Each structure stands twice: as C-alpha cells, then as structure tokens.
Amino acid sequence: MHPFLDITKLSIAFPKSPLPVLRDVDLKIERGEYVAVIGHSGCGKSTLLNVVAGLLPATAGGVLLEGREISGPGPDRAVVFQNHSLLPWLTCYENVALAVDQTLSREMNRKQRHDWVLENLALVHMTAAKDKRPNEISGGMKQRIGIARALAMRPKVLLLDEPFGALDALTRAHLQDQVMEIHARLKTTVIMITHDVDEAVLLSDRIVMLTNGPNATVGEILTVDLERPRDRLKLAADPRFVAARTAVLEFLHSRHANPALQAA
C-alpha cells in the first residue's frame, strides 16, 4: 500500500544557481492529513509546494499522488496562492465558476455546477459578495474566494501557499478557524506553507521543518498531538501546545537560525 502522497528524494535546482534549492526531500503524507511546512524565507518552502502543484519540474526524485507520478499542474492539487490570484475582471462567482466549469464539466450539468459554485461560496461565507469584483472586497475576503475556488475543484490535495501571510492578525485568526472547520468537515488532505509558528501548531497534524537553503532539506518532523476541534483560546495555555510551539521555535531560532539575520 502506497502512502497517499509520497515525496521521494526530491531535489530542485534552478538553471542559474550551482547549488540546488532543495535536496533529497522525503515526505509521506496520509489521506486527510493536515501538514504544515515551515522554514525561514528563502529555504524553498514555496518551491516545494510548486513542485507538488506541478508548476515547477523536479530536478531529481519525484512526487507520487495515489501511486501515480505527477507530471504537471492539475485540479486534483488545487492551490490557494499567497496573493489570492483572483482574476480581477471576473466577479467572485465567476472566478469560482471558471474553475468549476473548466474542471467538473464532465461530472456535472450546468445547473449542478451553478449550485456547486454557490455551495462553495457559502462554505467560506461569501455568498453575499458573490457578484462583487475582487477589487471591491477586502484582502481576507479575496483569500476566502481563493479557498472556495480551490475547494470547488474537488482536489485530492489542497495546497496553501502562505495563504494568510498578507492579512492582519485578526482576519488571519478568523480565516484559520474557518480553514480548520472546513478541514474537519471535508477531510481534505492539506499541505500548508507558512512562516507563522502559532499557525502551524494550531492547524496541523504534523509540522515539517526545513533547514536553511540552499541545499535545504527536511530537518525535523513534529507531530502535533492535539485533539480536534481545536480552540485557540483554550490551547494558548495548554502545555502540549506550548511544548510544540517551543519545539518549532527552538528549531527555527536556535539550531537553524536564519543565516541572513545572523550576518546582519
């Protein structure tokens, strides 16, 4: 039996640099698991996600999804991009509908697709703004539409590329709660890139910590053994939460401190 998503000996090098960004990354992810990838800026977190998404080719090694090697981008690995990447000339509804019409036209007829778009907008509580254009809504709302668009493709794996990085702290907390709720409801497999330790501990089943690049690789994997549903207020004082948080901080700031910051 294969693992659901299997990253094996993955190395990624860009043509112009002598050293690979990532080297020999091994990671196995089970169905329904929520995995966070954390590391300093420039360690290749986003590169790793882009390879899983199929947007970048692997230099060596590869990624298997349900035993099949991925060779390009596709809706089974939907991405929520860091800067939302909504198409500004389409309304929120149309942004989601474009993805649905493009990826599910075989399974659903027109009416079903329409209902499915509305269902996904309702899932992220954006029904009221469905006819607005992206520049008429806030950053948090844009990101929610981005999540709705990704979920509407019925992905096997949901890839979140620092989805809340550009948001203010309150909006971020609100969206994190919504993502936890959606994950609990849909049991989607999630890989989330983040540089926020609290976010990683709160949301994830496992936290993959990358060493510094170039030649970055998996330094440590921490299993977050907290039952769900999780409540950010109660967890703040929970010793297991604090221990997990300390372990990640320890890794990032003591053993693998950011070289750029040290030099400064």
Partner 1 sequence: MNAVSTKPAAEPAVVSRPALAALPKPSRIVPVIAQVVPPLIVLALLGLGWEYLASGPNATLPPPSKVWVDARDLIVDPFFDRGGLDKGLFWHLLASLQRVALGFALSAVVGVALGMLIGSSPFFMRGLDPIFQVLRTVPPLAWLPLSLAAFREAQPSAIFVIFITAIWPIIINTAVGVLNVPQDYRNVAAVIRLRGLAFFWKIVLPAAAPYIFTGLKIGIGLSWLAIIAAEMLIGGVGIGFFIWDAWNSSNLSDIIVALIYVGLVGFMLDKVVALAGRIATRGTQAS
- Per-position x/- string for 102-131, each x denoting binding to partner 1 as judged by CB under 8 A, each - no binding: xx----------------------------
Return d(Cα 217, Cα 215) in angstroms, integer.
6
- Binding residue (CB under 8 A) for partner 1 from 39, 134, 140, 163: 134
93 binding partner 1? (CB under 8 A): no
85 binding partner 1? (CB under 8 A): yes
Confirm if 148 and 116 have CB atoms less than 8 A apart: no
- For residue 150, CA distances in Å to 42, 61, 79 come to 25, 27, 6
Residues that bind partner 1 (rule: CB under 8 A) add up to a total of 24
Residue 207: strand pairing partners: 36, 222
171 binding partner 1? (CB under 8 A): no
Closest listed residue to residue 208, CA positions, set 221, 225, 192: 221
Q: SS3 for 61?
A: strand
53 binding partner 1? (CB under 8 A): yes
Confirm if 56 and 33 have CB atoms less than 8 A apart: no
87 binding partner 1? (CB under 8 A): yes
74 binding partner 1? (CB under 8 A): yes
Distance spanning both ends of the chain, measured CA to CA: 48
- Binding residue (CB under 8 A) for partner 1 from 15, 18, 88, 239: 88
165 binding partner 1? (CB under 8 A): no
20 binding partner 1? (CB under 8 A): no
Residues that bind partner 1 (CB under 8 A): 53-55, 72-75, 77-79, 81, 83, 85, 87-89, 98-99, 102-103, 133-135, 153
